[in-house]
């Protein structure tokens, strides 16, 4: 019977696994002893050349399963190395950074991308209780204010839109500068048709907004036969029609923009889909965390070899860390190398997590912790 044959084969696998588990445990115990020896003699954990030679030798002995063996033993080595970091004091990152505390309730000065009434303005007001907010027209200007003007405590910028994807320029700023994420907030994008007093849906013949907002409200615009005119931002569009003061012009922007520029909300929620939101982050010059920090963001590059990403992710799985985002983009080296952005749930003050991050920093190229922070959905009511 075919079913009996399958049961017999599965039994063989179970018997093999019963033999493998004790060997795995013995290997990990031996790795611990190696760690103790290295600690006593001041030796580094990672010996890249030795691991490479062993991996090549073991893989070659696996015959037709060479590729599978390479992944298996590479992962075993990574897990052994992670265990050794639990024995040897982790020194990959300054310990004082881990204890820096972030408190959004304190008075502060915030550099904010955009202008009054923009969604970034909503994000900044939602994150900070008592903030003096100043606005800058570009991401670079916003970051420069925080980096170069000691009177600014934080900066607020967008990092991701649910329909348009990541804001790569902001990630580049994070990678290339000593800036860190200390808070995250998701702002639902609720576009409104705004007009001056007396304007109606019927009277508005042309509508101003940012190109992305125009695209996100394309169905409403088409249904009303409105001309589309691009502006630098949704808030800039609201500001413009407030100055034009004619009932034939409208703007697509937020409710806050309407309040900011004395405009009427003619129709709320005109976007094509309700499942649209933008994630904003607050940046600081120091890596900080709070008691409720539940997300960690990192960026790193890997050797261009098969299985390296898989093996790296296996180390997170071994600690039960849940990955919420992984994204790659080319480095600017011109050598087909990639940077990987990774978000996962956790707190940097958990000892196992800190040791993992320290180990990765010691082993990887271009590794950086972008931040450990609380990420939440804004209450728009």
For the chain, how many residues are written?
Answer: 381
- Coil, strand, or helix at residue 86? helix
CA-to-CA distance for 60 and 199, rounded, in angstroms? Answer: 76
**3-state percent helix, strand, coil for the chain, nearest multiple of 5:** 45, 25, 30
Select which of 136, 280, 300, 344 is catalytic.
280
Beta strands, E only, the chain: 108-113, 131-136, 154-161, 165-166, 180-188, 192-195, 206-209, 227-230, 249-253, 264-268, 277-284, 295-301, 323-330, 338-345, 365-377
Residue 288 and residue 101 in contact, taking contact as beta carbons nearer than 8 Å: yes
Of 72, 77, 74, the closest CA to residue 45 belongs to 77
Q: Please indicate whether residue 163 is annotated as part of the active site.
A: no
Residue whose pair of structure tokens reads 């790193």 in the numeric block: 300
Residue whose pair of structure tokens reads 């030795």 in the numeric block: 50
Q: Please indicate whether residue 280 is annotated as part of the active site.
A: yes
* Token pair in block for residue 330: 């080319």
Side-chain half-sphere CA neighbours of 270 within 13 A: 28
For residue 43, report the phi and psi dihedrals to the nearest 5 degrees.
-95, 145
- Coil, strand, or helix at residue 53? helix
Of 276, 282, 319, the closest CA to residue 297 belongs to 282
Residue 191 and residue 217 in contact, taking contact as beta carbons nearer than 8 Å: yes
Select which of 278, 312, 340, 367 is catalytic.
278
Side-chain half-sphere CA neighbours of 315 within 13 A: 26
The set of catalytic residues is 278, 280
């Amino acid at each position: 019977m075919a079913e009996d044959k399958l049961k017999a084969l599965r039994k063989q696998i179970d018997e093999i696994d019963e033999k493998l588990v004790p060997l795995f445990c013995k290997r990990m115990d031996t790795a611990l002893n190696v760690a103790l020896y290295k600690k006593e003699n001041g030796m580094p954990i990672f010996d890249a050349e030795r691991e490479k030679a062993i991996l090549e030798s073991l893989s070659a002995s696996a015959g037709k399963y060479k590729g599978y063996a390479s992944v298996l033993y590479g992962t075993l080595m990574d897990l052994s190395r992670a265990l050794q970091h639990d024995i040897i004091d982790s020194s990959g990152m300054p310990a004082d950074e881990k204890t820096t505390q972030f408190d959004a309730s304190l008075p502060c000065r915030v550099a904010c991308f955009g202008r009054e009434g923009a969604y970034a303005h909503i994000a900044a007001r939602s994150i900070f209780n008592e903030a003096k907010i100043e606005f800058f027209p570009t991401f670079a200007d916003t970051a420069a204010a925080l980096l170069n003007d000691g009177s600014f405590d934080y900066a607020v910028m967008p990092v991701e839109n649910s329909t348009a994807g990541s804001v790569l320029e902001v990630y580049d700023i994070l990678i290339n500068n000593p800036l860190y994420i200390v808070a995250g907030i998701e702002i639902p994008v609720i576009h409104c048709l705004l007009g001056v007093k007396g304007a109606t849906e019927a009277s508005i013949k042309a509508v101003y907004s940012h190109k992305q907002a125009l695209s996100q409200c394309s169905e409403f615009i088409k249904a009303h036969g409105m001309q589309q005119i691009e502006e630098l931002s949704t808030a800039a569009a609201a500001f413009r029609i407030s100055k034009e003061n004619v009932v034939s012009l409208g703007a697509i922007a937020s409710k806050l923009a309407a309040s900011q520029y004395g405009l009427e909300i003619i129709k709320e929620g005109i976007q094509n889909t309700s499942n649209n939101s933008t994630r904003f982050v607050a940046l600081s010059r120091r890596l900080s965390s709070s008691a409720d920090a539940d997300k960690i963001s990192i960026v790193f590059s890997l050797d261009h070899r098969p299985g390296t990403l898989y093996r790296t992710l296996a180390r997170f799985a071994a600690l039960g860390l849940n990955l919420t985002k992984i994204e790659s983009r080319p480095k600017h080296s011109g050598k087909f190398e990639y940077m990987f952005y990774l978000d996962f749930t956790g707190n940097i003050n958990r000892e196992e997590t800190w040791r993992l991050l320290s180990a990765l920093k010691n082993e990887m190229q271009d590794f950086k912790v972008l931040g450990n922070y609380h990420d939440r959905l804004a209450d728009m009511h």
